[in-house]
Amino acid sequence: MGTTVANAEAMLKIKYGKEPPTKVVRLETKRYLTTGEIALAKVIFKNSIDYSKVLIKRGGLLGIPNSSKNAMTPFGEIHLPEESYISIKDFSLSKEASDRIWFIHEMTHVWQHQLGYSNFGAGLEIGVKGGYTSESKAYDYDLLCDDQDKKFNQFNMEQQGEIISHYYDAMHLVNFKNHDLPVSHKKNLAQLPALKKVLKDFFTNPSDKDLLPKNYAKLFWHKLSLKSKHVFFSELV
């Protein structure tokens, strides 16, 4: 019936004079940013981040990134879902526009953390308030109506991540081939002047700690004001 497993092990033991060597497979669980990713981030954050301290990690955080299929950056390190960590070796080389936008959003949290913001504490408060439900209230903002007069530090940490990543999309992915978020991209292009306005102080000095969220974890509860209704129905006509 052929050589049994026991016989094979015995033959290997005779060959090596001891137990056969065991091959150890090491599972990569973290990596530093690539030179391409640093260059990508510098387009937005300039030198306001110490990129040498930034790690991208595989899963972790009690398995939340894996179960939610989303990244988490509570302590200045980006925790990706395992499948994303494996498939995305370099965000700057990704053929999906959404990956690059995602990276900029998470790097916003790195920026916040390195300037002294408590992403972990704010994240807990947002979660308690229901901001991370399926409706994702914590991410919503409206620069064309309800939020048009707000300063950047009046938005919570997730809104800041969205605003910066949407600006990146509108400014730097205009000619991206086969953009995989065409509807969102069109919206970001339309609101580019408003994005530039709210980010004016950020681009003047991205190292300014006064840019960090002042309202901690305040959520944006969309209320269709009379002004919003007027704009909404005007667009339908």
Alpha-carbon gap, residue 26 to 6, rounded angstroms: 27
Alpha-carbon gap, residue 133 to 129, rounded angstroms: 9
Distant-in-sequence contacts of 119-123, Cβ < 8 A, 24+ apart: 119/73, 119/74, 119/75, 119/76, 119/157, 120/74, 120/75, 121/216, 122/156, 122/157, 122/213, 122/216, 122/217, 123/72, 123/74, 123/157, 123/217
106 in active site: yes
Bridge-partner residues for 32, per DSSP? 55
Secondary structure, 3-state, 114-142: HCCCCHHHHHHHHHHCCCCCCCCHHHCCC
For the record, the structure tokens of 81 come out as 């879902």
Catalytic residue among 37, 77, 106, 162: 106
What residues act catalytically? 106
